[in-house]
Amino acid sequence: MKLFLPLKLLFRLFAVLLMAMDGVQAVDLRGVEVALDGGASPESFEVELIGPFKLQIRAQEEAGAKPPRMHVQLPNSGTNAWPAADVEVRDGSGKVLLVQRTGIEWFKLSFALPQGGGTCVVQAVEPVGGWPKATSDKDRVIQDGVSGLRLRVAKWHAGRTAALSLRFDDSHPSHLTKAIPILDEYGFRGTFMVNPGASESGSRRVSDFEQHHAEWESLAMKGTHELANHSAHHRGGFSDVDTEAEIGEAAQAIWKLTPSRSQLMALNLGGGTRWETTRTLRFYLDKYHQFDAAENSTGMDDSYGGRVENFRRILAQHIQRGLWCRVHYHYIGENLSSTEANFRAALDIAKEHATELWIAGMADIHKYQTERNAAKLQVIQSAPRKLSFELACSTDSALYDHPLTLELAIAPGMEATKMIIKDANQAVLPAQPGKIDGADALRFVVPPRTAAYSIELTP
């Protein structure tokens, strides 16, 4: 039996066909979608989930046929989401296959099935020590009846309700002439995703970054804005070696400009780029101290339409839910991706929410979020009016160096000025008065490291 197939066939349809043809039960792929092209007939392959995050594809040899390409789309949100950065593909002998992805959708894979049929496996490789598990809200709170003190790790830096990152892609000259001076006027920190690779021989593309190197260097030295990795040349990668060079060279160029800072930085491989590698994204992230910052961002180019009002709406939603709102721009100015007027209008909206928002660089926000998810508070000892406690934080302090904010509730009858907070060396920590849900509180910052502290209510 020969069927004529569209170029891409969704697995769900295929499963129905299989059932009709062979009486085989439909396989539940938990949100994974599989399609193939190359004109292969549906009876020539089978797909099955054989473990959590492990998909087996069995292809039969078709005489003389070119091995078809598989397209696998993994669910990237919800309860069935796969850890896409950890996914690789191997053939039946265990050899890793070359997989193609686009720069901003690592959860969509495309690869040629092994020549001559056989089995291959799409699987997420668990990192050494397991996938990180976030601590719970309960782990990050102390409610101590003996001392009467209540303490917690703040959701966001300085007790803000939500976070906002403003990202600018492609190291465009208008970032230096427009975006940065305007952000400085507002006092907002931006994240600049740059392509710091030198112009390549044989390419007509001139490096904007190279042409304005001195300006980017002085920006990096000032430290008011964050530089991030948008790959060396914004052209994708065509092999393991090439992919590593594109990620690694950009990281090194940025490290060179920011020698005194943590090496951790945001990575976004770029819209419209293709990457062919046998390796997991995790390999590159870990080796170069990057974190994936490509997804869940709202594009602010005027061509999408209604950007200012859309920003007002999504920002309000993120504030309401206490989340990290991410937006990205390309070029700023007249006849460019965003007009200066629309750029300013969005910044004005952010300014209206200044007291609720932590407007920061993407690495700052990622650090805080990761540190908080790795933090626990525990009572060491408590007595009336006195508490000693430990903050445990399991992140690597060489990379994750953003201070954590702790919030101390001021119960009725307590006086903020009589609360003395000390670190393990008996140094008094400065604290700022604030409010938690309308009630008085004190906030203080501590390094994201495991350490002991004490709080005393003096008479």
- Rounded to whole angstroms, the Cα distance separating 284 from 364 reads 20
Q: Which CB, 228 or 325, lies closer to Zn ion?
A: 228
Cβ of residue 269: shortest distance to Zn ion, in angstroms?
Answer: 9
Part in contact with Zn ion (CB under 5 A); list of ranges 267-275, 310-318, 382-390, 393-401: 267-275
Cβ of residue 133: shortest distance to Zn ion, in angstroms?
Answer: 33
- Rounded to whole angstroms, the Cα distance separating 72 from 38 reads 15
Q: Which is nearest to 68 in space by CA: 33, 43, 101?
A: 43
List of residues 6+ apart from 83 with CB closer than 8 A: 53, 124, 131
401 binds Zn ion (CB under 5 A): no
Part in contact with Zn ion (CB under 5 A); list of ranges 66-74, 266-274, 297-305, 316-324: 266-274
Q: Which is nearest to 92 in space by CA: 111, 108, 65, 113?
A: 113
Part in contact with Zn ion (CB under 5 A); list of ranges 146-154, 264-272, 311-319, 342-350: 264-272
- Rounded to whole angstroms, the Cα distance separating 379 from 185 reads 44
List of residues 6+ apart from 422 with CB closer than 8 A: 428, 429, 453, 454, 455, 456
Contact between residue 358 and residue 365 where contact means Cβ atoms under 8 Å apart: yes
Give, as ranges, the residues between 270 and 329 that touch Zn ion (CB under 5 A): 270
Q: Which CB, 171 or 382, lies closer to Zn ion?
A: 171
Cβ of residue 101: shortest distance to Zn ion, in angstroms?
Answer: 16
Q: Which CB, 270 or 448, lies closer to Zn ion?
A: 270
Q: Which CB, 237 or 270, lies closer to Zn ion?
A: 270
Q: Which CB, 117 or 299, lies closer to Zn ion?
A: 299
Cβ of residue 270: shortest distance to Zn ion, in angstroms?
Answer: 4
Quick note: the x/- pattern for Zn ion over 198-227, rule CB under 5 A, is ------------------------------
Q: Which CB, 5 or 228, lies closer to Zn ion?
A: 228
Cβ of residue 301: shortest distance to Zn ion, in angstroms?
Answer: 11
Q: Which CB, 270 or 361, lies closer to Zn ion?
A: 270
Give, as ranges, the residues between 169 and 198 that touch Zn ion (CB under 5 A): 169-170
For 229, the 3-state DSSP assignment is strand
* DSSP secondary structure string for all residues of 76-135: -SSTT---GGGEEEEETTSPBPPEEEETTEEEEEEEEPPTT-EEEEEEEPPPTT-S--PP
- Rounded to whole angstroms, the Cα distance separating 146 from 143 reads 9
Cβ of residue 186: shortest distance to Zn ion, in angstroms?
Answer: 24
Contact between residue 400 and residue 448 where contact means Cβ atoms under 8 Å apart: yes
Cβ of residue 175: shortest distance to Zn ion, in angstroms?
Answer: 12
Binding site for Zn ion (CB under 5 A): 169-170, 270
